[in-house]
Each structure stands twice: as structure tokens, then as C-alpha cells.
Structure 1
Amino acid sequence: MNNNIDLEKEKKYNKWIVILSIVIPLAVAALFGVNLRKLGFDVEPLTFLPPIYATINGLTAVILIIAFFAIKKKNIVLHENLMTTAIWCSVVFLVLYVAYHMTSDSTKFGGEGFVKYIYYFILITHILLSIVIIPFVLITYVRAITNNIERHKKIAKITFPLWLYVAVTGVIVYLMISPYYT
């Protein structure tokens, strides 16, 4: 990377950030409501996917933590590679998550009492922040690749804990609901 901030490139990326930040949640919401089996398609339910995409969430959390320590040690190349990997993990997670929900019936949480409230609190905050995190991740990434490092650092301080929360709570939600999968 050179030392010049590429503001023109950043402006071009910003248009895509806005588009993706709107399109991704809308597409996920729309596809979440589509069950191919109920529409008459002869597809097998992809019931094996939840532990896989939960593992990807866990892997994303680990990668984010390692990337955090890499940048603290000024290992920029490792940090860049890890952050790119974390983004790709999130993309793979999203594809698998949508594929599961398009082929399988939703699972109802069967816990009762206080644990039910904890589950729904974690689930709701996870879902809301998974929507919020999209533009944060994209803006943070674009500021890095356009060499706008000072602004990258400022937003990364917000993006990192939010993204880590989404990744970790994805695993927690899976662990809490997994006994109720049929």
C-alpha cells in the first residue's frame, strides 16, 4: 500500500457500501421466508448446516481476536490477511445460514423461565447487530484498503467489539437452541 489516501476510490466504494448495507439484510429477510420444500421443490433439508455455520461464527471470533493482537504488534500484513479471512468467513456463514433456512423448518426455542428471556435477549441483539455490523465492516475495510488509516482506526474501535459480539453470540444462540433441533 502506498502512503496516499485514495479519497476518490473511497467515494466509489461508499456507493457499494450503501447498496450492500441495504440489499444484504433485505435479501436475507426475503430468503429467510422462502422454504423451497413448502414451495414444492424436491430438496433435502440441510439440517447438517447449523453446527457448521456456528463453527464458522466461532472461527470468525477467533480470527478477529488474533487480528486485533496482530495489529497491536504492528504486524500489518497478518492483520490484513486475517481481516480479509474474517470477512470471507462471514460471507460463507451467511450463504450457509440462508441455505439452511430455505430448506428447513425454523426451530422453536424450547427453554422455559429465565433462560428463555436470556435466549431471546441474546438472539434479538445478535440479529439487530448483525444488520448494523454490515456497513461498519465494509466502511472499516474500505478505509484500510484506501489507506485512510486514521479514519480506519477510529471506526475499527467500534466495528471490532460489535463484530466480535455478533460472532460470539451466534455461537451462543446455536448452543442454546441446538437441543431443540429435530
Structure 2
Amino acid sequence: MNIILVLPHIQAVLNITAAGLMTAAYYYIRQENRAVHRACMIAALVVSTLFLAAYLYYHSQVGNVQFAGQGWIRPVYFSILASHIVLAVLIVPLVLTTLGFAIKGKFARHQSLGRWTLPIWLYVSVSGVVVYLFAFHFYPQ
């Protein structure tokens, strides 16, 4: 089996898994269960790191994937893709800074930045799956 052919599907699973873990982490911190919140967020970080490694490897081998959709769907797709790319670049330092505050025990700062980090990270994960669905399932080459 050629790993390149299955990597986009694996990446989508990793993204949706990360989104689920982040959602669970939010639920548990709202329940004041810091231990489970911490475990879910560490798992989300690990899964997202695996995604990033797979993504970089895939695109180093394949390059850019052309979008096959035509007509009105193209600006919709590229709008989602553009916002996804911009926020994906921004989320890396946001996640690392938010994590750093937690590690240092600066929970007020962690919580304050986390209010921005979580929704952006969720958007990046979910929009990544949307881009995948458009490029590989709804409008495949």
C-alpha cells in the first residue's frame, strides 16, 4: 500500500480526533475537572502534532493538490482554504504560548489566552476536514 494515497484520509481522522479532544477538554474544564482537561489537551496536542508531521510529509512528496470544483463552489472553497491557512499559521504560537502558561502554573493567563486559542484551533481542525472533503470526496480529481 502506498502511504501517500492514504495520508489525506489519516490527516482528516487526526483533525477530527483533535477537535473532539478539544471539545471534551472544554467540557471537563467547565466541570472543574483539571486532570481530565489536561489529559484531553495533551492528547489533542499530540494528535495535532502527528497531523502536522503527516501533512508536511504528504505535501513534500505531492506538492499542491489542485481543486477540481468549477463554478460558484471555487470561491467558497478558496475562502475556506485561505482562512484555514492563515489561522493554521497563527495557531501554532498561540497553542505553544497557552501551553506554556499552563506549564508555568500561570492559569489566569492560560485561561485568558485559551479563550482565543480554543475556538481558533477548533476552526483550523474542522476547516481542515472541510477542505479535505471538498478536495478528495466532493470534487476529486
Which of structures 1 and 2 has the bigger CA Rg? 1
Q: 1:47·1:104 contact (CA, 8 Å) conserved in 2?
A: no
Aligned counterparts of 2:102 and 2:46: Cα–Cα separation in 1: 16
Task: Determine if contact 1:57/1:168 at 8 Å carries over to the other structure.
Answer: yes
> What is aligned with 2:88?
130
Identify the residue that residue 119 of structure 2 maps to in structure 1: 161
> CA 1:124–1:57 in 2, change beyond 3 Å: closer, same or farther?
same
- Extract unaligned runs of 5+ from structure 2: none
Alignment of 1:104-143 (within 5 A): 104-143=62-101
How high is the sequence identity, in percent, across the aligned residues? 35
- Cα distance in 2 for partners of 1:76, 1:47 equals 39
Structure 1 range deviating more: 140-149 or 101-110: 101-110
Deviations 1:128-165 (CA, angstroms, capped at 9, x unpaired) = 10000011101111101111011111000000000000
Report the AA paired with residue 48 of structure 2: S
Gap change, CA 1:59 and 1:45, over 3 Å in 2: closer
Is 1:102 the counterpart of 2:56? The answer is no
Maintained 8 Å contact 2:68/2:140 = no
What residue in structure 2 maps to residue 144 of structure 1? 102
Please report the TM-score for the alignment, with normalisation by the length of structure 1. 0.73
Aligned-residue offset at 1:105: 4.5
C-alpha deviation, 1:104, in angstroms: 2.1
Question: What pairs with 1:1-182 in structure 2 (closer than 5 Å)?
Answer: 46-179=4-137, 180-181=139-140
- Equivalenced residue count is 139
Q: In structure 2, what is the Cα distance between the partners aligned to 1:114 and 1:78?
A: 44
Partner of 2:66, secondary structure, is: coil
Tell me how large the CA RMSD over aligned residues is: 1.4
CA distance in 2, matches of 1:170, 1:67: 20
| Contact 1:61 1:164 (C-alpha < 8 Å) held by counterparts | yes
Q: Could you say which structure has the higher helix fraction?
A: 2
For structure 1, the 5+ residue unaligned runs are: 1-43
